[in-house]
Amino acid sequence: MNGAESLLRAAAAAGVEACFANPGTTELPLVQALDRVPTIRAVLGLFEGVCTGAADGYGRMTRRPALTLLHLGPGLANGLANLHNARRAGTPIVNLVGEQATSHLPFDAPLTSDIQALAASVSSWVRTAASSEALSADGVNAITAAAAGRVATLIVPSDCQRGPGRALITAPCPPPAEPVADEAVEKAASMLTSRGPAVLLLGGRALTEAGLRAAARVGAATGSRVIVETFPARMERGGGLPSPQRLPYYMEQARAMLSGAGAIVLVGARKPVTFFGHPGQPGSTVPETAAVSVLAAASQDGAEDAAGALERLANRLRAPADIDGSVAPAPPVFPSGSLTPETLAAGIAACQPEGAIVADESVSSGFAYFPLAAGSARHTYLCHVGGALGQGLPMATGAAIACPDRPVIAFQADGSGMYTLQALWTHAREGLDVTTVICANRSYQILQFELAGLGGRPGSAAAGLLDLGRPNLDWVSLANGMGVPARRAVTADELVDALEWAFADPGPHVVEAIL
């Protein structure tokens, strides 16, 4: 057994079941070793950003790390954007990055680079393997580091992969969830009952079914408003679950929602800030007069038991177990007529099947979906957390592999979809039950909104940088070229027909919605 096989056997024993790979020459021993460790499913991505984004979607759904297998520094660099998103989402991932043979490093060959520096920008744990005998232990240490909701990167020189390995007996490594301190529960109870209008801001692990129900009890018992962070990494929704409002993306709207709050208690969420700095505007959307307390750390800061903390808080407040203060939202209505962002959102919300996983990178076209889907069938919602574009299609890939018995919907903007459209090929090759809905507004519309907010009007040069026409993207042809059946919808009625067609036939489909 060589080092590569010992590493993968240790990973399998620790509970790793998937490897999203785009390997090169320096990773070939690990590629060969995958044949000898069949419990780890090897999935090829045609671009490293697909591999890292898929590992993110997989980790969000399983709360266990997947492996990525990447080729040297340039391969890692190609995947950094979605590793940034995973870091922000608190997703467990282990990157295996090949390196030149130790003896070859002094020659500074063309593909040699500072992999440690690249990895450190997105990883909480980075190590370069020093020997083939220690490689299995390095792998277990990486998995342990990732299990807390972090990105770990193990750099593996090719000679360490080829050299003799050492078997390591280990046990599965479930993601830990540390209980919060009693003092945090007491402080939250005091703030919610003594500082006037209060807000409970939820994120991360607070957005499970148990967390949402407990938060609703707290809100009902204290009169506090329950709000969800703007871009939740994972949230259970629909089917009668409590449905808090989401903090808006635009800073004026976010400030208006939080205005007047005397206290804000953070549960799995960070103190909200604006995405960008604007002249003369504060960077936080929290009122200056509001006191802020942390009941449970945000997922990217640790793995505290946010849902358990909310249940303890509800019990501390003597909130009745059968009262959550919520009103069941109306089920979405099937749209008809013109196809607009609003009717597009309504169509997906009305048609989506029970148990769906919705990976949302709809950007500007999808704002209407979140409130409408509160009345949909039970589903899991995955959102674009870190702001780096090109996450939606790969995230759907990983979610589908993690949960093969559940349909997945990729709600995808056309501009950001082009960053990682190679994921469609993986959907076809792996036979994944992913329905991709393309919001084809043929522009970088979010930038048009931002420019208008700054009081600017684009001239011809600027307008050309915000427009995706000349030629228009043809997603039906792009999908067919990747082996995925596709239809185009230009009205709301055609959209509903296309969605019903896609959901009736398990497997990959694309619906291009012309807005």
Distances (CA, A) of 162 to 7, 37, 40, 75, 156: 11, 16, 19, 20, 10
pLDDT band at 455 (very low <50, low <70, confident <90, very high): low
Q: Do residues 232 and 383 lie in contact, with contact meaning Cβ atoms separated by under 8 Å? A: yes
CA-nearest of 146, 36, 166, 148 to 96 is 146
Fold that domain 182-316 belongs to in CATH: Rossmann fold (3.40.50)
Q: Are 303 and 148 in contact (CB under 8 A)?
A: yes
Categorize the per-residue pLDDT at 513 as very low, low, confident or very high, splitting at 50, 70 and 90: very high
Residues 176-198 pLDDT 10s: 678 999 999 999 999 999 988 99
**Predicted local confidence at residue 415, as pLDDT:** 95
pLDDT of residue 217: 96
Residue written as tokens 């950007």?
A: 363
pLDDT at 170 over 90: no
What are the pLDDT digits (tens) for 328-384? 788 899 999 999 999 999 999 999 999 999 999 999 899 999 999 999 999 999 999
pTM: 0.95
Model confidence at 407, pLDDT cuts 50, 70, 90, reads very high
Residues 6+ apart with CB under 8 A from 322: none
Would you state the torsion angle of the CA atoms of residues 254, 380, 303, 220, taken in this order, to the nearest 10 degrees?
60
Q: Do domains 3-162 and 182-316 have the same CATH topology?
A: yes
Considering the segment(s) 3-162 as one domain, its CATH architecture is 3-Layer(aba) Sandwich (3.40)
Q: How far is CA 277 from CA 271, 274, 280, 282, 284, in A?
A: 16, 7, 9, 8, 9
Domain coordinates of the chain in residue numbers? 3-162, 182-316, 341-514
pLDDT band at 11 (very low <50, low <70, confident <90, very high): very high
pLDDT at 169 over 80: no
Q: Which has the higher per-residue pLDDT, 175 or 17?
A: 17
pLDDT of residue 301: 67
Identify the band that residue 326 occupies on the pLDDT scale cut at 50, 70 and 90. Answer: low
Q: How many residues does the chain have?
A: 515
Residue 237, pLDDT > 90, answer: yes
Grade residue 72 by pLDDT with cuts at 50, 70 and 90. Answer: very high
Q: Which CATH class is domain 341-514?
A: alpha beta
Residue 459's pLDDT band, with cuts at 50, 70 and 90, is confident
